[in-house]
């Protein structure tokens, strides 16, 4: 008898799982349920669309015929509201019930709202879906001034959209530096200067206390905790994600911030798996539970989950994730878990070249490279192979670092 697989979420994790399931199990019934109104698109590229640099077409990855060709039933505009692990069913908002033998939850997250007065006013945007990007682009093309909040990897996309659309911007940050948990002041200053050159002014020790609105409930001003006022008819907020765990309430599927899975992407239920941003997975390299928010990692988790749904134990998830920023004249890459670790080493080489490695128990667990990405393969190899670099951290950040420069066991890797 053929197996039935139900996947909730048609992001990169869900869609890549469907592709692998079809390859591994040609006879299976495969259904994907998504609350979005369109099939898989490239979430990484929606910022280029909002900047006005790319038309819509290349952002779409699969049209509906892709699913038909693989005999995958894609149900758009279908929000799953309930899971019954005992009955092996999920229920959608319209009451339709779907039975499964194996279930994959690839349900990602939703942008966190700012808990301040008027944060739901017209003109205030969050950024996760293609539809968000369309709204942002349309508004930004008419905007006069903008405020961006959220000093991280998505906030900088909003700041770059402001810059590309020639809108004067203020980027309000809570501390003294952009992405202060991964970059030092030296590294962040490279980003601050690049923003200033593009007419986006970083404002430090700031944030938002409340927004002011006009008679039509449109945002006019962001007021920061110091009482300073910033005119803005466009506001972009990117302060993090709330992972979509509401549908797990009332089940005994284990989760905290995300859904707990083992290295095979399986939850505490034998027939329920999870993949992508939503998972808190057992990171074999880090040696502890971790969560990734990156396209490549989500894709790989979808593929690994599918293999293990067909045959549990086939392949484990072991991955160094990467995330690049391409808005500036210099390249930028973060990898692994750059905000973790008990130690670090960094070096600055020029006004646009800088590196920092995060270290835990004498091993690299992540890093950020600005300006010169050439050592990334070496650092990722050392991280993946958990090479002990204790006592040699300064060698790692020599500008022309080679693996042979490391002494002893590390050098033989």
Ligand X SMILES: Cc1cc2nc3c(=O)[nH]c(=O)nc-3n(C[C@H](O)[C@H](O)[C@H](O)COP(=O)(O)OP(=O)(O)OC[C@H]3O[C@@H](n4cnc5c(N)ncnc54)[C@H](O)[C@@H]3O)c2cc1C
| Contacting positions for ligand X (CB under 6 A) | 8-14, 33-36, 43-44, 46-47, 79-80, 106-108, 127-128, 154, 157, 244, 247, 276-277, 293-296, 298, 323-324
Nearer to ligand X, 14 or 366 (CB): 14
**Angle at CA 333, nearest 5°, toward 328 and 334?**
135
Give the closest residue to 7 by CA, choosing from 86, 67, 53, 56.
67
For ligand X, which is the closer residue by CB, 47 or 348? 47
Sorted by sequence, the CB contacts under 8 Å of residue 403 that are 6+ apart come out as 378, 381, 382, 411, 413
Of 124 and 406, the one with the shorter C-beta distance to ligand X is: 124
Angstrom distance (rounded) from CA 243 to CA 258: 6
CA 413 – CA 398 distance, rounded (Å): 18
Q: How many CA atoms lie within 13 A of 276 on its CB side?
A: 24
Nearer to ligand X, 202 or 276 (CB): 276
CB of 393 to ligand X, least distance (A): 27
Minimum distance between the CB of residue 318 and ligand X, rounded to whole angstroms?
A: 17
Judge contact between 310 and 25, C-beta under 8 A.
Answer: yes
- The whole-angstrom separation of Cα 49 and Cα 55 is 6
Could you give the C-alpha distances from 260 to 209, 269, 340, in angstroms and in order?
A: 35, 10, 19
Could you tell me which of 284, 247, 251, 279 has the C-alpha nearest to residue 266? 279
Minimum CB separation of residue 51 from ligand X in Å reads 11
Give CA separation, 326 vs 129, 180, 206, in Å.
Answer: 19, 19, 26
Which CB, 326 or 350, lies closer to ligand X? 326
Minimal distance, residue 278 CB to ligand X, in Å: 6
CB of residue 42 to ligand X, shortest distance in Å: 8
Contacts of 177 (CB under 8 A, 6+ apart): 151, 183, 184, 185, 188, 189, 192, 204
**Residue 91 or 392 having the CB closest to ligand X:** 91
Selection from 190, 151, 199 nearest residue 174 by Cα: 151
Nearer to ligand X, 214 or 246 (CB): 246
Least distance to ligand X, CB of residue 217, Å: 26
Q: How far is the CB of 10 from ligand X (least distance, A)?
A: 6
Q: Which is nearer to ligand X, 91 or 386 (CB)?
A: 91
Instruction: Show the DSSP H helices in 98-234 as ranges.
Output: 130-140, 153-164, 185-197
Distance from the Cα of residue 54 to its chain's centroid: 21
Smallest gap from residue 263 Cβ to ligand X (A): 17
């Amino acid at each position: 008898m053929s197996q039935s697989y139900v996947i909730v979420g048609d992001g990169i994790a869900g869609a890549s799982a469907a592709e692998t399931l079809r390859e591994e199990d040609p006879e299976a019934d495969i259904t994907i349920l998504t609350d979005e109104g369109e099939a898989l698109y490239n979430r990484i590229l929606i910022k280029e669309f909002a900047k006005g640099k790319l038309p819509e077409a290349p952002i779409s990855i699969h049209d509906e015929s892709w699913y038909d060709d693989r005999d995958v039933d894609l149900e758009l505009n279908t929000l799953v509201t309930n899971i019954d692990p005992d009955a092996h069913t999920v229920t959608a908002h319209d009451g339709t019930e779907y039975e499964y033998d194996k279930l994959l939850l690839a349900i990602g997250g939703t942008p966190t709202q700012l808990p301040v007065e008027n944060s739901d006013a017209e003109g205030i945007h969050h950024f996760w879906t293609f539809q968000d990007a369309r709204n942002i682009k349309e508004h930004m093309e008419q905007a006069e001034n903008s405020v961006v909040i959220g000093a991280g990897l998505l906030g900088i996309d909003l700041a770059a959209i402001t810059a590309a659309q020639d809108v004067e911007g203020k980027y309000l940050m809570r501390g003294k530096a952009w992405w202060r948990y991964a970059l030092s002041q030296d590294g962040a200053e490279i980003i601050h200067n690049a923003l200033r050159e593009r007419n986006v002014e970083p404002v430090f020790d700031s944030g938002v206390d409340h927004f002011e609105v006009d008679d039509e409930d449109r945002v006019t001003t962001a007021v920061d905790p110091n009482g300073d006022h910033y005119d803005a008819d466009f506001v972009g907020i990117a302060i993090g994600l709330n992972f979509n765990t509401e549908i797990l309430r009332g089940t005994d599927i284990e989760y905290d911030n995300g859904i707990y899975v083992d290295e095979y992407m399986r939850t505490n239920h034998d027939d329920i798996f999870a993949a992508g941003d939503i998972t808190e997975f057992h990171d074999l390299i880090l040696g502890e539970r971790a969560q990734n928010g990156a396209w490549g990692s989500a894709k790989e988790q979808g593929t690994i989950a599918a293999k293990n749904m067909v045959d549990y134990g086939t392949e484990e998830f072991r991955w160094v994730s990467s995330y690049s920023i391409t808005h500036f004249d210099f390249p930028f890459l973060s990898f692994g878990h750059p905000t973790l670790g008990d130690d670090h080493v960094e070096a600055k080489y020029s006004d646009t070249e800088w590196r920092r490695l995060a270290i835990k128990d004498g091993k690299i667990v992540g890093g950020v490279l600005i300006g010169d990405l050439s050592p990334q393969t070496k650092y990722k190899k050392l991280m993946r192979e958990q090479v002990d670099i204790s006592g040699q951290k300064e060698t790692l950040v020599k500008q022309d670092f080679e693996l042979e420069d490391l002494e002893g066991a590390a050098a033989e890797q």
